[in-house]
A and B are shown apart, each in its own frame.
Chain A
Amino acid sequence: MEIITVKDLTKTFTYSVKEKGLRGSLRNLFARQTRQKTAVSGISFAVDQGEAVGLLGPNGAGKTTTLKMLSGILYPTSGEVKVAGYVPWERQREYQRRFAIVMGQKTQLWPDLPALDTFELNRRIYQIDAAEYQRTLDELTSLLDVRSLLQVQVRRLSLGERMKMELIAALLHRPEILYLDEPTIGLDILSQRSIREFLHYYNQQTKTTILLTSHYTADIEAICPRSIIINHGSVVFDGPLAEVSEVFGHKKLVSLKARRDLDAGELAGFGTVRRLDHNTALLEVDRDGLQGCLQRLFGALPVVDLDVKDIPIEEGIAYFYRKAGVGAQ
């Protein structure tokens, strides 16, 4: 069942520009020049209840703007959105009790007080029953392993610890929909993994609908079976992340190591040389001619090691990032 329906959503911002230097500043004081930027351009998609969907895209693609409109922070310029039957920017209290948003670069915690105080405040804001609150808090602090940090002033916590507290604050009222905007940004590898594992587990256990933006492919791979790639404000891909690289499905990468140094000239006949470093090389070859290519390689060169791989997902994503103005697939 669809819980999020987005149709032709558009958001345009007006911003001012200034020429460089003092002259530009003076001119700007009296005659400000403005420009329009379309951050989100008529995107449409739907998300089913319990689904975990990743929103991918380069900086400025419109991912965060989309989340802000879905959570009611921003009014759209045009388009329609229904989330659980509500129009987000009407900011109805009933809707606000049914979702939560965590923004990696913003905090809802009071920095000068322990996180526990913000949790208690959220209990009152969302009118959570005291026993239910305690049960949820115990469960979340145990899952995220932060029980010993509950009484530490927030500003004294590490970034990873703070993000775990942000997640707890967001989940105390058991939202049906969870928007996550780069929840692992700036975190070390262990913290990233811990948060990924938690979110995957939480989605599986509670069937909370998750809409996640991240620049880390690993976040999306771990949490979201489905991805939507947005670029230049439009949806350019919608499907499982693994299928992103199918755009390069007719290509394979051959990584080889020889007993002697190689040169580009002798490799050119086998495929496109992507990398060459003394006795190791990376070749891009056609999938259809792979078998013959490998036989010729073994015959022509003193190969000691060889590996055949798919084009990495990141390259598929990068392809879509570069691709502009293409309709949804």
Chain B
Amino acid sequence: MKPAGYCYIFGMGMQKAMAYRADFFLSLASCIFPIIMQAYLWTALYAAGAADTNGYTYEQMILYTLLAGITSRIVATGFENDVAQDIKDGGLNKYLVKPVNYGSYCFAQFAGSKAAAVGFLLAVTAAVLGGASLLLGIPFEPVRLALYALSLALALVLNFSIFFTIALLGFWLTEIRQLFGTISIVIMVISGGVFPLDIFGPAAAAASAVLPFGYTTQFCVNIVNGQLTMGEIGLGFAAQLFWIIVFTLAHRVLWWQGAKRYTAVGG
């Protein structure tokens, strides 16, 4: 299929996300509540003097929490349950008989289904950055904002690749949804989506630099909040691309092997 076809799937993904109004608006609202709760939690911890954050000031922590919360929701997946279900109950059939690439099809649909929410979250990000600039006097360089946007796009692709690879394990593990729940929470934490990993010291920071997960959230946030030098940002982009290639190759191998095992149950 030509790229225009995948663009059409992107559009259908958007339409599907907006087919049910209440669900659509509630899903937007639900993006914000957990972030606000985390901000209140840090406020309480700092007020009680209980926050041991390895040098982060209250303002820095709140800004990180808000930006990381938003970023992790921008890159969050959710399609993996559909993939696992397709493999388990034979829904994959309709893709296997058509001249389409299943991974690209899923990505286009996933990106389309997120587009409206991403637009909303980017508006919230702009409000957070504007507020931080006005209230805290933190300057945000335009070049960092542009690099943040680029890192977000790559983070979205990387997170998709990670979860698509995990979802393809469904060819071997018939029921995999419990695994998704566990992995999502773990990845949310080790990607820096809840708090900056360097509050645990240099070892945690080094581990997050080596693993792919930090490049889906913490790396993006640290671009915009000025924690990274331009050289570190360049290395971060290289790491994002590296992990995208690794997971793309991994899911191609899994797809190739898995499609041979596929049992296409059901009539």
Asked if B93 is at the interface (CB within 8 A of a chain A CB), the reply is yes
User: What is the interface residue range for chain A against chain B?
Assistant: 35 or more
- What 0/1 pattern do residues 104 to 143 of A give for CB contact below 8 A with B? 1111101011000100110011110000000000000000
How far apart sit A185 and B9, CA to CA, in the bound complex (Å)? 30
Which residues on A sit within 8 Å (CB–CB) of B260? 75
Q: Pick from B99, B260, B262 the residue with the most CB of A within 10 Å.
A: B99
A74 near B262 with CB under 8 A, answer: yes
Given contacts A73-B93, A112-B19, contact A105 B5 (CB under 8 A): no
Partner of A13, one of B1, B97, B263: B263
Given contacts A106-B93, A113-B16, A121-B12, contact A97 B99 (CB under 8 A): yes
- What 0/1 pattern do residues 87 to 115 of A give for CB contact below 8 A with B? 00001010011011101111110101100
Q: List 14 A-B contacts (CB under 8 A).
A: A71-B96, A74-B262, A74-B263, A91-B96, A96-B99, A100-B97, A105-B266, A105-B267, A106-B93, A113-B16, A125-B5, A125-B100, A127-B1, A127-B2
- What 0/1 pattern do residues 2 to 32 of B give for CB contact below 8 A with A? 1011001100100110011000000000000
Which residues on B sit within 8 Å (CB–CB) of A103? 93, 267
Which residues on B sit within 8 Å (CB–CB) of A110? 12, 16
Q: Pick from A75, A99, A104, A182 the residue with the most CB of B within 10 Å.
A: A75
How far apart sit A100 and B264, CA to CA, in the bound complex (Å)? 17
B8 near A126 with CB under 8 A, answer: no
- What 0/1 pattern do residues 20 to 42 of A give for CB contact below 8 A with B? 00000000000000000000000
Label chain B's interface by main secondary structure.
loop
Asked if B90 is at the interface (CB within 8 A of a chain A CB), the reply is yes
List CB contacts (< 8 Å) of A59-105 with chain B.
64, 68, 71-75, 91, 93, 96-97, 99-101, 103-105
A121 near B9 with CB under 8 A, answer: yes
How far apart sit A103 and B90, CA to CA, in the bound complex (Å)? 11
Partner of A72, one of B8, B19, B96, B100: B96
How far apart sit A103 and B8, CA to CA, in the bound complex (Å)? 24
Q: Which residues of A contact B (CB under 8 A)?
A: 13, 64, 68, 71-75, 91, 93, 96-97, 99-101, 103-108, 110, 112-113, 117, 120-121, 124-127, 153, 181-182, 185
Partner of A96, one of B9, B12, B91, B98: B98
Q: Which residues of B contact A (CB under 8 A)?
A: 1-2, 4-5, 8-9, 12, 15-16, 19-20, 90-91, 93-94, 96-100, 259-260, 262-264, 266-267
Given A100-B97, A107-B94, A113-B19, 9 additional A-B pairs, CB 8 A: A74-B264, A106-B91, A106-B93, A106-B266, A112-B19, A113-B12, A121-B5, A121-B8, A182-B267
A120 near B98 with CB under 8 A, answer: no
How far apart sit A91 and B98, CA to CA, in the bound complex (Å)? 9
Closest approach, in angstroms, between the C-beta of A166 and any C-beta of chain B?
Answer: 10
Closest approach, in angstroms, between the C-beta of A229 and any C-beta of chain B?
Answer: 18
Closest approach, in angstroms, between the C-beta of A162 and any C-beta of chain B?
Answer: 14
B12 near A64 with CB under 8 A, answer: no
Which residues on A sit within 8 Å (CB–CB) of B19? 112-113, 153
How far apart sit A162 and B100, CA to CA, in the bound complex (Å)? 23
Given contacts A73-B93, A73-B262, A106-B90, contact A124 B16 (CB under 8 A): no
A125 near B16 with CB under 8 A, answer: no
Partner of A104, one of B20, B97, B267: B267
Which residues on A sit within 8 Å (CB–CB) of B1? 124-125, 127
B98 near A125 with CB under 8 A, answer: yes
A68 near B99 with CB under 8 A, answer: no
The 4 closest A-B pairs by CB, nearest first: A124-B5, A105-B267, A93-B99, A108-B94
Which residues on A sit within 8 Å (CB–CB) of B2? 124, 127
A106 near B94 with CB under 8 A, answer: yes
How far apart sit A282 and B262, CA to CA, in the bound complex (Å)? 50
Which residues on A sit within 8 Å (CB–CB) of B8? 120-121, 124
Which residues on B sit within 8 Å (CB–CB) of A93? 99
Given contacts A124-B1, A125-B1, A125-B5, contact A117 B267 (CB under 8 A): no
Which residues on B sit within 8 Å (CB–CB) of A121? 5, 8-9, 12
A64 near B16 with CB under 8 A, answer: no
B262 near A113 with CB under 8 A, answer: no
Which residues on B sit within 8 Å (CB–CB) of A64? 267
Measured CB to CB, the nearest residue on chain B to A104 is: B267
Measured CB to CB, the nearest residue on chain A to B96 is: A73
Closest approach, in angstroms, between the C-beta of B100 and any C-beta of chain A?
Answer: 6
Closest approach, in angstroms, between the C-beta of A58 and any C-beta of chain B?
Answer: 14
How far apart sit A103 and B89, CA to CA, in the bound complex (Å)? 14
B264 near A73 with CB under 8 A, answer: yes
Measured CB to CB, the nearest residue on chain A to B105 is: A125
Which residues on A sit within 8 Å (CB–CB) of B93? 68, 73, 101, 103, 106
B15 near A113 with CB under 8 A, answer: yes
